[in-house]
Structure 1
Amino acid sequence: MSLERIEEAALLDLATRALARGGMRAEEAAPAARVLVLAELAGLTTHGISRVGQYLDRVKVGGIDPQAAVRVARVMPALAMVDGRNGIGPLVGMVGLEAALAGARDCGIGAAFARGSNHFGPILPYALIAAEQGFASIIASNATTTIAPWGGRDTRLGNNPIGIGVPNPGGNPVILDMALSVAARAKIRDLAASGAPLPEGWAADAEGRPTTDAKSALAGFLLPVGGHKGYGLAVMVDLLAGLLSGAAFLSHVQAWDKNPEVAQNLGHVFIAIDATKLAAPETLAARMADFIGILHATPPADPARPVMVPGERELARLRQQRAEGAEVKRAELDRLRALAAG
């Protein structure tokens, strides 16, 4: 795999220009690109700059409206409804995040529910942007159906991501960003291509039986993390992000890979809490240092793998790549340059 190093600013410029060439307004392309570039730098490459081309492929067939005018209706001082109008997902996500932050600035806590959206990237960039401004956050989205209800044998639920972020004045925030399957479908595709077996507990076949055969798993469905508990969490995420937002939910969500020309109507939820209203920055910093220190001091089961807090590995990668330049797959950079050149 050939890699090329590129500075963050240059990568952000390329992604912004590519989205603008694909039909977005330049002032809206920039925040959307920021989400994907932060994901790339944090090592979340499946949700990074490769998504620019995927989004624009759907634009070409009419599945996404790059000119969508995302609308925000503030229904209460701390509560907003966002209509993405089938726009680029990370743009809808950034508008939703900003609406929640605005409510939190005014009231201490704010929430925004978004509908009419598409794949909005990973949660970590949104939670990081909130944390850097002193806000804790709870963020979630529904997704294309890839998980069966517990005890069922047909997909009805998405691998719905949920994230929680807590700011840490003067240090790295703690950020959980997780989807609700044991393993990503992309990992199963890789194992199917290599002919290697799956670890137990990753997936079921088309009849709902647990399988270690990757090809059978691709014809079946993903298994939720924690069994019935993961299923329950996936249900609740869809109720919050999909049903309450007015978006599609469960099997009403369109699969972007199977029907790229059809609007997905995904839903997201953003809840922001102004942590500066709960404690002075120096107090929060001291308590966070104590909290993280207790976890870091845990004797590791494997001395080569010390205990880490959620998001620590990704944020360390982000810092490193910001300092040294991002290592990006050359093929993906070449495609991004071609899209930016028009």
Structure 2
Amino acid sequence: MTEATIGAAELEALATRALTTGGMMATDAADAARIMVLADLFGIRTHGISRVAQYLERVKLGGIDARAAVTVEALAPALLRVDGANGIGPLIGMRTLQAAMAAARDTGMAGAFVRGSNHFGPIMPYLFLAAQEGFAAIIASNATTTIAPWGGKGAKLGNNPLGFGIPGGAGADPILLDVALSVAARAKIRNAAAKGEAIPEGWATDAEGQPTTDPKAALQGFLLAIAGHKGYGLAVMVDMFAGLLSGAAYLTHVKAWDKDPGAAQDLGHVFLLIDAKRLLPGDALSTRVGDAGAILRGTPPADPARPVRLPGEMEMALYHAQSRNGVRVASADLDAVHRLAGPG
């Protein structure tokens, strides 16, 4: 796979132009592009500008409304309900984050529950933006069904992403965790199938619910949740909060975009934000986060070549490097965005 390097600001402007050409309003396109470029800055390429073409293809098919008017309803001072109106997911995520931060500034903490959404990218960009404003955050989403309930052999749960973020304070990097709840993503299994390689045992089962190392059989079967029944339980509870409580689709009611790209998914998300500066005013936040980081990083490594790192530390290092030196993306993805953007 050939790669290209492009400045982050240039990439964001290009993605914004492509999304605008594809039907979004300019301000909405800029907010959605910001999430996707942050994904690439963190090295999460599967959710970066590679998604621009996918989102716009669904717009063409009627599965997403590029001009959706996202609405925010305050059910209580610290409780928001967001209707994404079947818009482009990263835009809905940004509008939700902005509304939740505004409410949390007033009340100290806020919860926003989202319905009528689509794939909103990775969680890490939202955690990062919240942390930059001094907010701790818990963010989660439901997803298309790919995981069987513990002991079952039918896909009833999504590979639901879950994230936690803690601001670093005083210019320090935040501590960020963004995980999906399967052992491995389907994209990794598809890549193995394309290369004719086996997958590790414990990633997936076949259609009968039996463990398999054959990626083709795995693609006809189910992903395995992290930590067995514990991961299954986490996936259920994420869907209860993000899907069921929000009024969005949940479990098997979620539409699969890859099987029916012209249908609205009605995904649900949940954003819980806490004004960390109220809990730990002055230098207390920076001091305590710094101390926690020192305790963990000070652990003697089992392998001297691999020192102990904090959650998100690798992604933050890549973010800083690519912000300085340019973002590395797949040439094919960059070419696709250029085509969609048109002459500029």
Give the TM-score of the pair, scaled to structure 2: 0.98
1:215 alignment counterpart: 216
Q: Distance in 1 between matches of 2:149 and 2:102?
A: 36
Q: Once superposed, what is the RMSD of the aligned Cα atoms?
A: 0.8
Separation of aligned partners in 2, 1:315 and 1:63 = 34
| Corresponding position of 2:85 | 85
- 1:56 deviates by 0.3
Residue 149 of structure 1 corresponds to 149
Q: Which residue of 1 aligns with 2:204?
A: 203
Is 1:276 the equivalent of 2:281? no
81-90 or 272-281, which deviates more:
272-281
- Residue by residue, what CA displacement relative to the aligned partner does 1:268-319 show, whole Å, maximum 9, x if unpaired? 0001000010112411111111100111111111111111111110111010
Aligned partner of 1:135 in structure 2 is 135
Distance 2:45 2:78 in 1: 34
Are the aligned partners of 1:116 and 1:265 in contact in 2 as well (CA < 8 Å)?
yes
What CA distance in whole angstroms lies between the structure 2 residues aligned with 1:236 and 1:180?
11
Match of residue 240 from structure 1: 241
How far off its partner does 1:200 sit?
1.3
Counterpart in the other structure of 1:331: 332
2:168 aligned partner: 168
| SS of residue matched to 1:171 | coil
Q: What is the deviation of 1:193?
A: 1.6
Please tell me whether residue 63 in structure 1 is matched to residue 67 in structure 2.
no
Check conservation: 1:73, 1:80, Cα contact below 8 A.
Answer: yes
Report the Cα distance in structure 2 between the residues aligned to 1:118 and 1:306, rounded to whole angstroms.
38
In the alignment, the residues of structure 2 paired with residue 41 and residue 172 of structure 1 have an alpha-carbon distance, to the nearest angstrom, of: 15
What is the CA deviation profile of residues 91-141 of structure 1, one whole-angstrom value per residue up to 9, with x for unaligned ones?
111111112111110100011001000000000000000000000000000
Aligned residue in 2 for 1:291: 292
Task: State the SS of the aligned residue for 1:51.
Answer: helix
Q: Distance in 2 between matches of 1:327 and 1:186?
A: 19
Runs (4+) off by over 6 Å:
none
Mapped partners of 1:7, 1:197: distance in 2: 37
What whole-Å deviation, never above 9, does each CA across 1:10-59 have from its counterpart, x for those lacking one? Answer: 00000111111110000111111100000011100000000011000100
Indicate the percent of aligned positions where both proteins have the same amino acid. 62
Amino acid at match of 1:252: H
Distance 1:281 1:127, change over 3 A: farther
2:260 maps to amino acid: N
> 2 CA distance for matches of 1:328 and 1:194?
21
Give unmatched runs, 5+ long, in structure 1: none
Any conservation in 2 of the 1:99–1:111 contact (CA below 8 Å)?
no
Query: Which secondary structure does the structure 2 equivalent of 1:138 belong to?
Result: strand
Asked if residue 103 in structure 1 is aligned to residue 103 in structure 2, the reply is yes
For 2:210 and 2:2, how far apart are their aligned partners in 1? Answer: 39
Shift in Å at residue 5 of structure 1? 1.2
CA contact (8 A) 1:204 1:223 kept: yes
Given the alignment of the two structures, is residue 194 of structure 1 paired with residue 182 of structure 2, yes or no? no
How far apart are the structure 2 equivalents of 1:78 and 1:32?
A: 25
Give a deviation string over 1:177-201, Cα, whole Å, max 9, x none: 0000000111111111222211111
Question: CA deviation digits over 1:212-265, x for unaligned, max 9?
Answer: 111111110100000000000000000000000000000000000000000000
Q: Do the aligned residues in 2 keep the contact of 1:47 with 1:122 (CA within 8 Å)?
A: yes
> What is the SS of the residue equivalent to 1:239?
helix
**What SS does structure 1 have at the residue aligned with 2:283?**
helix
Moved more, 7-16 or 324-333: 324-333
In 2, Cα distance between the equivalents of 1:234 and 1:52? 27
Tell me how far 1:167 sits from its aligned partner: 0.3
The separation in 1 between residues aligned to 2:296 and 2:65, in whole angstroms, is: 45
CA distance in 1, matches of 2:150, 2:96: 31
Cα distance in 2 for partners of 1:327, 1:195 equals: 26
SS of equivalent to 1:307: coil
1:302 partner letter: D
How many residue pairs get matched?
A: 342
Aligned position for 1:300: 301
Q: What is the rounded CA distance, in whole Å, between the counterparts of 1:214 and 1:328 in structure 2?
A: 26
Once residues 192 and 316 of structure 1 are traced to their aligned partners in structure 2, the CA distance between those partners, rounded to angstroms, is 31
TM-score when normalising by structure 1: 0.99
